[in-house]
Homo-oligomer: A and B are copies of this chain.
Amino acid sequence: MASALVAGGLGFLGSHLTEALLHRTDLEKIVVVDNLWTGSRDNDEFMRDPRVSIAISDIEAFRSEQSFDEVYHLASPATPDKYSVQPARTISANVIGAFRMRDLVKPGGRFCYISTSEVYGDPLVSPQPESYRGSVDCTGPRASYDESKRCTEAFLFECNRTEGLDVRVVRLYNAYGPRTRWDDGRAVSNFISQALAGKPLTVFGDGQQSRSWGYVDDLMEGIVRLFWRDPIDYVGPVNIGNDREVSVLGIAEYVASLVPGARIEFAPPVAQDPTSRRPDLTLARRLLPGWDCRISYEEGIGRTLDWFAQRYGHLAQAPAEARS
């Protein structure tokens, strides 16, 4: 029987991942570590199981007598309005968090890390294969997130090379779906929460910047297969996302079409907001035969809206403005 540590397990993706782990019968213990910076206590409802214990702690400060067969590192904010406000904390969570967790992996154990399409920055190549080296301003306003993700990837693949650490890394493209916080800051959830609050949907710039919006169930299917379900012998980061690009404005318009009275307003562009991003999924499709993002953005937004209406319908105030 195996044990797992999930850092960031009370977050949006972390709670989905922990729930997926609970479907396994070979795990006898799952320790969830979360500092509630962007995670939420509400998400513990998806992990009510005697195998789960929850520690409220920064991952960098987490101490444990035991080590784990599998560690999952999802301890990071994921939106500019979080990480750009506390950039040092963001770097610490990712990089120093990774150092701490490496020490908690049992010999022969596995380290899984959720990285991001932000490692490509504002890409000059589209779609982006994993070999694309990216275009990131390492001194810019998104650097704390982009560079700490890049540096953590470097750390992990170097640990693989020099110590044989079993490493799995996915680069996710714009995840969205249920369990996003009301005030998360990602575009889809913010448009939805703004619309539900009767406030205008804030689009930064002209909204023509495009993204590859990945519904959480589709992304989790890829993640779960890569991280544990499929027998995969591959070392290197793997893009996981939806390769259908839709503009930010297109998403806002679709959300507005679903909520009576909703309207869009434009705000000045965000500094260094990438103009486009789209995954090259050649590698993912080779490693994960049959996997694909199957849920259209119309379907995914509908499901997310329903969930937000049920969970947060009582909230009157609008969130911070929507970014992506």
Chain A residues close to B by CB (< 8 Å): 85-88, 91-92, 95-96, 99, 102, 119, 121, 131, 133-139, 141, 143-144, 146-148, 150-151, 153-155, 157-159, 161-162, 236-237
A157 touches B133 (CB 8 A): no
B154 touches A141 (CB 8 A): no
B138 touches A119 (CB 8 A): yes
Q: List 18 A-B contacts (CB under 8 A).
A: A87-B154, A87-B155, A87-B161, A87-B162, A91-B99, A91-B154, A95-B95, A95-B151, A96-B96, A133-B136, A134-B136, A139-B236, A141-B161, A143-B153, A143-B154, A148-B151, A148-B154, A150-B151
Residues of B within 8 A of A102 (CB): 88
Nearest B residue to A156 via CB reads B139
A155 touches B121 (CB 8 A): no
**Cα distance, A168 to B88, chains bound together (Å):** 17
A194 CB to closest chain B CB (Å) equals 26
B121 touches A144 (CB 8 A): no
Residues of B within 8 A of A119 (CB): 138
Query: Among the listed B88, B143, B155, which residue makes an inter-chain contact with A88, where contact means beta carbons less than 8 Å apart?
Result: B155
B133 touches A91 (CB 8 A): no
Nearest B residue to A91 via CB reads B155
CB-CB nearest 6 A-B residue pairs: A87-B158, A143-B154, A151-B151, A147-B154, A138-B150, A139-B157
Residues of B within 8 A of A143 (CB): 153-154, 157-158
**Cα distance, A119 to B161, chains bound together (Å):** 21
